[in-house]
Amino acid sequence: MNNDTSKMKPFLILGGTGKTGRRVAERLVKRGMPIRIGSRYGEPAFDWENQATWEPVLQDVKAVYITYYPDLAMPGAAEAVGAFAKLAVKNGIKRLVLLSGRGEEEAQRSEQALRDSGADWTILRASWFCQNFSENFLLEQVQSGTVALPTVDVREPFVDADDIADVAVAALMENGHVGELYELTGPRAITFAEATEEIAKASGRAVRYVPLSAEQFSSMLVQHHTPVEITELLTDLFTKVLDGRNSHLTDGVQRALGRAPRDFADYARDTAATGIWSELK
Protein backbone atom coordinates (compact mmCIF):
# COMPACT_ATOMS: atom_id res chain seq x y z
CA MET A 1 0.00 0.00 0.00
CA ASN A 2 1.29 3.46 -0.93
CA ASN A 3 1.20 5.71 2.14
CA ASP A 4 2.54 8.80 0.35
CA THR A 5 -0.01 11.54 1.07
CA SER A 6 1.86 14.28 -0.81
CA LYS A 7 -0.29 13.79 -3.91
CA MET A 8 -3.60 13.35 -2.06
CA LYS A 9 -6.14 16.15 -2.16
CA PRO A 10 -6.85 17.63 1.27
CA PHE A 11 -10.15 17.69 3.11
CA LEU A 12 -11.25 21.28 3.73
CA ILE A 13 -12.64 21.89 7.22
CA LEU A 14 -14.45 25.19 7.61
CA GLY A 15 -14.35 26.21 11.25
CA GLY A 16 -11.50 23.80 11.75
CA THR A 17 -10.59 25.25 15.14
CA GLY A 18 -14.13 25.00 16.54
CA LYS A 19 -15.71 22.31 18.73
CA THR A 20 -16.54 19.88 15.94
CA GLY A 21 -14.11 21.10 13.27
CA ARG A 22 -11.09 20.56 15.52
CA ARG A 23 -12.21 17.02 16.24
CA VAL A 24 -12.86 16.27 12.57
CA ALA A 25 -9.36 17.54 11.74
CA GLU A 26 -7.77 15.37 14.44
CA ARG A 27 -9.54 12.25 13.19
CA LEU A 28 -8.58 12.81 9.57
CA VAL A 29 -4.95 13.42 10.49
CA LYS A 30 -4.90 10.20 12.53
CA ARG A 31 -6.08 8.39 9.40
CA GLY A 32 -3.20 9.87 7.45
CA MET A 33 -5.39 12.25 5.49
CA PRO A 34 -4.16 15.73 4.45
CA ILE A 35 -6.34 18.59 5.68
CA ARG A 36 -6.80 22.28 5.11
CA ILE A 37 -8.26 24.45 7.87
CA GLY A 38 -10.69 27.11 6.67
CA SER A 39 -10.47 30.07 9.04
CA ARG A 40 -9.48 33.71 9.05
CA TYR A 41 -6.07 32.63 10.29
CA GLY A 42 -5.69 29.71 7.89
CA GLU A 43 -3.44 29.50 4.84
CA PRO A 44 -5.04 30.55 2.60
CA ALA A 45 -7.38 32.55 4.84
CA PHE A 46 -11.13 31.95 4.73
CA ASP A 47 -13.84 34.37 5.83
CA TRP A 48 -17.59 33.82 5.40
CA GLU A 49 -18.03 37.59 5.07
CA ASN A 50 -15.46 37.92 2.25
CA GLN A 51 -16.37 35.88 -0.83
CA ALA A 52 -13.00 36.69 -2.40
CA THR A 53 -11.47 34.20 0.07
CA TRP A 54 -13.72 31.32 -0.93
CA GLU A 55 -12.27 30.12 -4.24
CA PRO A 56 -8.61 30.07 -3.14
CA VAL A 57 -9.40 27.80 -0.19
CA LEU A 58 -11.30 25.41 -2.48
CA GLN A 59 -8.42 24.75 -4.86
CA ASP A 60 -7.55 21.03 -5.25
CA VAL A 61 -9.83 19.99 -2.37
CA LYS A 62 -11.36 16.50 -2.09
CA ALA A 63 -14.38 17.22 0.15
CA VAL A 64 -15.61 19.90 2.57
CA TYR A 65 -16.95 19.90 6.13
CA ILE A 66 -19.05 23.06 6.42
CA THR A 67 -19.74 24.89 9.66
CA TYR A 68 -21.08 28.43 9.53
CA TYR A 69 -19.91 31.14 11.92
CA PRO A 70 -21.39 32.39 14.14
CA ASP A 71 -24.55 30.33 13.57
CA LEU A 72 -26.89 29.20 10.80
CA ALA A 73 -29.67 31.16 12.52
CA MET A 74 -27.98 34.45 11.58
CA PRO A 75 -29.43 36.51 8.71
CA GLY A 76 -27.71 35.74 5.41
CA ALA A 77 -26.44 32.32 6.46
CA ALA A 78 -28.54 30.36 3.97
CA GLU A 79 -27.50 32.60 1.11
CA ALA A 80 -23.83 32.26 2.04
CA VAL A 81 -23.97 28.47 2.43
CA GLY A 82 -25.79 28.13 -0.89
CA ALA A 83 -23.32 30.35 -2.74
CA PHE A 84 -20.34 28.53 -1.23
CA ALA A 85 -21.77 25.11 -2.06
CA LYS A 86 -22.42 26.10 -5.67
CA LEU A 87 -18.86 27.44 -5.95
CA ALA A 88 -17.50 24.18 -4.56
CA VAL A 89 -19.47 22.14 -7.10
CA LYS A 90 -18.31 24.49 -9.86
CA ASN A 91 -14.74 23.70 -8.79
CA GLY A 92 -15.39 19.98 -9.04
CA ILE A 93 -15.90 19.33 -5.30
CA LYS A 94 -19.06 17.27 -4.88
CA ARG A 95 -18.84 15.80 -1.37
CA LEU A 96 -20.10 18.42 1.10
CA VAL A 97 -21.08 17.75 4.72
CA LEU A 98 -23.02 20.46 6.58
CA LEU A 99 -23.33 20.85 10.34
CA SER A 100 -26.84 22.09 11.09
CA GLY A 101 -29.08 22.50 14.13
CA ARG A 102 -32.37 20.92 15.18
CA GLY A 103 -35.61 22.87 15.15
CA GLU A 104 -34.22 26.04 13.59
CA GLU A 105 -36.05 27.42 10.55
CA GLU A 106 -33.05 29.42 9.38
CA ALA A 107 -30.82 26.36 9.63
CA GLN A 108 -33.27 24.42 7.49
CA ARG A 109 -33.03 27.14 4.84
CA SER A 110 -29.28 26.51 4.73
CA GLU A 111 -29.92 22.79 4.44
CA GLN A 112 -32.15 23.39 1.42
CA ALA A 113 -29.56 25.67 -0.13
CA LEU A 114 -27.04 22.84 0.15
CA ARG A 115 -29.48 20.39 -1.46
CA ASP A 116 -30.08 22.81 -4.33
CA SER A 117 -26.36 23.23 -5.06
CA GLY A 118 -25.94 19.99 -6.98
CA ALA A 119 -23.55 18.58 -4.37
CA ASP A 120 -23.35 15.05 -3.02
CA TRP A 121 -24.55 16.33 0.34
CA THR A 122 -24.87 14.98 3.86
CA ILE A 123 -26.55 17.00 6.62
CA LEU A 124 -25.77 16.59 10.32
CA ARG A 125 -28.64 18.14 12.27
CA ALA A 126 -27.31 18.17 15.82
CA SER A 127 -28.91 18.81 19.18
CA TRP A 128 -27.18 20.88 21.88
CA PHE A 129 -23.53 19.96 22.34
CA CYS A 130 -22.43 18.53 25.68
CA GLN A 131 -19.27 20.57 25.16
CA ASN A 132 -21.18 23.85 25.53
CA PHE A 133 -20.57 23.28 29.24
CA SER A 134 -16.81 22.97 28.83
CA GLU A 135 -15.77 24.75 25.62
CA ASN A 136 -18.24 27.61 25.43
CA PHE A 137 -19.82 30.42 27.40
CA LEU A 138 -21.22 27.99 29.99
CA LEU A 139 -17.70 26.97 31.03
CA GLU A 140 -17.19 30.10 33.10
CA GLN A 141 -20.59 29.60 34.74
CA VAL A 142 -19.69 26.02 35.73
CA GLN A 143 -16.34 27.19 37.07
CA SER A 144 -18.07 29.91 39.10
CA GLY A 145 -20.42 27.36 40.66
CA THR A 146 -23.64 28.78 39.20
CA VAL A 147 -25.27 27.92 35.88
CA ALA A 148 -27.97 30.55 35.24
CA LEU A 149 -30.23 30.06 32.21
CA PRO A 150 -33.86 30.67 31.15
CA THR A 151 -34.72 26.99 30.58
CA VAL A 152 -36.40 25.47 33.62
CA ASP A 153 -38.20 22.29 32.55
CA VAL A 154 -37.22 21.76 28.91
CA ARG A 155 -35.42 18.49 28.20
CA GLU A 156 -32.60 18.35 25.68
CA PRO A 157 -30.89 15.17 24.37
CA PHE A 158 -27.38 16.63 24.56
CA VAL A 159 -25.04 15.16 21.94
CA ASP A 160 -21.30 14.71 22.34
CA ALA A 161 -19.15 16.64 19.85
CA ASP A 162 -17.01 13.51 19.50
CA ASP A 163 -20.02 11.66 18.11
CA ILE A 164 -20.68 14.49 15.67
CA ALA A 165 -17.07 14.39 14.52
CA ASP A 166 -17.18 10.62 14.05
CA VAL A 167 -20.29 10.95 11.86
CA ALA A 168 -18.74 13.83 9.91
CA VAL A 169 -15.59 11.85 9.13
CA ALA A 170 -17.67 8.87 8.03
CA ALA A 171 -19.72 11.10 5.75
CA LEU A 172 -16.59 12.68 4.27
CA MET A 173 -14.68 9.46 3.66
CA GLU A 174 -17.11 6.59 3.28
CA ASN A 175 -19.73 5.64 0.72
CA GLY A 176 -23.37 5.33 1.72
CA HIS A 177 -23.89 8.70 3.39
CA VAL A 178 -24.69 10.85 0.35
CA GLY A 179 -28.21 12.28 0.51
CA GLU A 180 -28.60 11.39 4.19
CA LEU A 181 -29.92 13.76 6.85
CA TYR A 182 -28.72 12.52 10.24
CA GLU A 183 -30.43 13.98 13.31
CA LEU A 184 -27.84 13.55 16.03
CA THR A 185 -28.84 13.32 19.69
CA GLY A 186 -27.59 11.68 22.83
CA PRO A 187 -29.28 8.56 24.25
CA ARG A 188 -31.48 10.44 26.77
CA ALA A 189 -33.05 13.84 27.25
CA ILE A 190 -32.34 15.78 30.45
CA THR A 191 -33.02 19.28 31.69
CA PHE A 192 -30.28 21.87 32.04
CA ALA A 193 -30.74 21.56 35.82
CA GLU A 194 -30.16 17.81 35.62
CA ALA A 195 -27.12 18.36 33.40
CA THR A 196 -25.75 20.73 36.02
CA GLU A 197 -26.31 18.09 38.70
CA GLU A 198 -24.40 15.54 36.61
CA ILE A 199 -21.51 17.98 36.26
CA ALA A 200 -21.51 18.67 40.00
CA LYS A 201 -21.46 14.95 40.74
CA ALA A 202 -18.67 14.22 38.28
CA SER A 203 -16.51 17.17 39.33
CA GLY A 204 -17.10 16.84 43.06
CA ARG A 205 -17.96 20.54 43.24
CA ALA A 206 -21.03 22.43 44.36
CA VAL A 207 -22.48 23.64 41.06
CA ARG A 208 -26.08 24.86 41.20
CA TYR A 209 -28.63 25.71 38.55
CA VAL A 210 -30.49 29.04 38.75
CA PRO A 211 -33.47 29.72 36.45
CA LEU A 212 -33.66 33.20 34.93
CA SER A 213 -36.27 35.16 33.04
CA ALA A 214 -35.46 36.05 29.44
CA GLU A 215 -34.90 39.66 30.52
CA GLN A 216 -32.50 38.64 33.30
CA PHE A 217 -30.59 36.39 30.92
CA SER A 218 -30.24 39.10 28.30
CA SER A 219 -29.09 41.61 30.93
CA MET A 220 -26.51 39.13 32.22
CA LEU A 221 -25.05 38.71 28.72
CA VAL A 222 -24.89 42.49 28.26
CA GLN A 223 -23.10 42.86 31.60
CA HIS A 224 -20.51 40.35 30.37
CA HIS A 225 -19.96 42.49 27.27
CA THR A 226 -21.38 39.88 24.91
CA PRO A 227 -21.74 41.32 21.37
CA VAL A 228 -25.27 42.48 20.55
CA GLU A 229 -25.82 39.97 17.75
CA ILE A 230 -24.67 37.07 19.95
CA THR A 231 -26.85 38.26 22.83
CA GLU A 232 -29.86 38.33 20.52
CA LEU A 233 -28.98 34.92 19.10
CA LEU A 234 -28.59 33.25 22.50
CA THR A 235 -31.71 34.88 23.94
CA ASP A 236 -33.72 33.73 20.93
CA LEU A 237 -32.28 30.23 21.20
CA PHE A 238 -33.07 29.80 24.88
CA THR A 239 -36.51 31.41 24.77
CA LYS A 240 -37.81 30.08 21.43
CA VAL A 241 -35.93 27.09 20.02
CA LEU A 242 -35.48 25.42 23.42
CA ASP A 243 -39.23 25.04 23.88
CA GLY A 244 -39.45 21.25 23.87
CA ARG A 245 -39.58 20.80 20.09
CA ASN A 246 -36.23 18.98 20.17
CA SER A 247 -36.73 16.85 23.28
CA HIS A 248 -37.35 13.60 21.40
CA LEU A 249 -34.50 11.18 20.72
CA THR A 250 -33.31 10.21 17.24
CA ASP A 251 -31.24 7.37 15.81
CA GLY A 252 -28.84 9.43 13.67
CA VAL A 253 -25.64 8.32 15.41
CA GLN A 254 -26.77 4.68 15.32
CA ARG A 255 -27.67 4.85 11.62
CA ALA A 256 -24.43 6.55 10.63
CA LEU A 257 -21.98 4.65 12.83
CA GLY A 258 -23.70 1.44 13.85
CA ARG A 259 -23.30 2.20 17.56
CA ALA A 260 -25.11 4.03 20.32
CA PRO A 261 -24.35 7.70 21.05
CA ARG A 262 -22.35 8.71 24.09
CA ASP A 263 -24.24 9.55 27.29
CA PHE A 264 -23.98 12.91 29.04
CA ALA A 265 -22.77 11.18 32.22
CA ASP A 266 -19.80 9.75 30.31
CA TYR A 267 -19.00 13.18 28.92
CA ALA A 268 -19.23 14.74 32.41
CA ARG A 269 -16.97 12.09 33.94
CA ASP A 270 -14.26 12.37 31.29
CA THR A 271 -14.39 16.17 31.18
CA ALA A 272 -14.19 16.46 34.97
CA ALA A 273 -11.05 14.31 34.89
CA THR A 274 -9.29 16.98 32.78
CA GLY A 275 -9.68 19.55 35.57
CA ILE A 276 -11.32 22.10 33.26
CA TRP A 277 -14.18 22.61 35.72
CA SER A 278 -11.94 23.60 38.62
CA GLU A 279 -13.11 26.63 40.55
CA LEU A 280 -12.23 30.04 39.09
CA LYS A 281 -9.25 31.62 40.85
Q: Grade residue 252 by pLDDT with cuts at 50, 70 and 90.
A: very high
Q: Taking 70 as the threshold, does the pLDDT of residue 2 lie above it?
A: no
Tell me the pLDDT of the chain averaged across its residues.
Answer: 94
pLDDT digits (tens, 9 = 90+) for 148-204: 999 768 999 999 999 999 999 999 999 999 999 999 999 999 999 999 999 999 999
Give CA–CA dist 41/70, Å, rounded.
16
pLDDT digits (tens, 9 = 90+) for 221-235: 888 888 888 888 888
Report in angstroms the alpha-carbon separations of 77 from 21, 55, 58, 163, 189: 18, 18, 19, 25, 29
Own/partner long-range contacts of 198-204 (Cβ < 8 Å, ≥24 apart): 198/264, 198/265, 198/268, 199/133, 199/142, 199/268, 199/272, 199/277, 201/268, 202/265, 202/268, 202/269, 202/271, 202/272, 203/142, 203/268, 203/272, 203/277, 204/272
Tell whether domain 11-271 is in CATH 3.30.450.40: no
Give CA–CA dist 39/50, Å, rounded.
12
pLDDT digits (tens, 9 = 90+) for 80-122: 999 999 999 999 999 999 999 998 888 999 999 999 999 999 9
* Sequence ranges of the domains in the chain: 11-271
Query: C-alpha angle with apex 135: 11 to 183, nearest 5 degrees?
Result: 60
pTM: 0.94
Q: Grade residue 281 by pLDDT with cuts at 50, 70 and 90.
A: low
